[in-house]
Amino acid sequence: DGYTNSRIMKFDKNGKFLMMIGGTKGSEIGQFNVPHHVLIDSKDELVIQDRVNKRIQFWTQDGKFIKQWNDIELGRPSGFAILPDDTIYVTDSDGQSIKIIKDDKVIDAIGGLDGARPHQIAIDPSGALYVNDEPFRIVKKIVRKGALESKGAGKP
């Protein structure tokens, strides 16, 4: 419930309300300004992208704050995807790039997206990235050079 109420709501499988994280717009721990995306990592932690505050926070599923990344130089974080090893790909629509983060550090970035403003992102089993470019309403496929050939899938 990010655009209006700055909160993450948790319900059980039958729709019964269990708990809330946030609920107040702001930049302190426990406050959000457009929580835009939520994932669950391999440790069952909630990974919450707080768009306007340009940060990513980690919480336990029972609502305890763990840590945050607020120093990864994001212009406008918009979407993210996570791999089984907890590598996180964060789209930055203002920075026209994708940051790759592992073990609390930016390990790589993908730029040169021909003016694209990446919004959401998905990763297929071969490692190809699919990014939607919101203003142009298109999806771009990004493949690391040589990645598909090494998996025996032929040339991209």
The per-residue pLDDT for range 90-105, each reduced to its tens digit, is 998 888 899 999 999 9
Best CA proximity match to 46, nearest among 71, 18, 27, 72:
18
CA–CA separation, 57 and 4 (whole Å)? 19
Q: What is the pLDDT of residue 64?
A: 97
Rounded Cα gap, residues 90 and 126, in angstroms: 18
Neighbours of 3 (CB within 10 A): 9
Tens digits of residue pLDDT in 119-147? 899 999 999 999 998 777 888 888 877 64
pLDDT at 146: 60
How far, in Å, are 58, 83, 102, 136, 156 from residue 122 at the CA level?
20, 10, 17, 18, 18
* Res 73: pLDDT: 86
What is the phi/psi pair of residue 150, to 5°? -70, -20
Q: Is 43 exposed, middle or buried (0-12, 13-18, 19+ CB in 10 A)?
A: exposed
SS3 assignment, position 141: strand
In the three-class reduction of DSSP (H, G, I as helix; E, B as strand; rest coil), residue 149 is classed as helix
pLDDT category at 156 given cuts 50, 70, 90 is very low
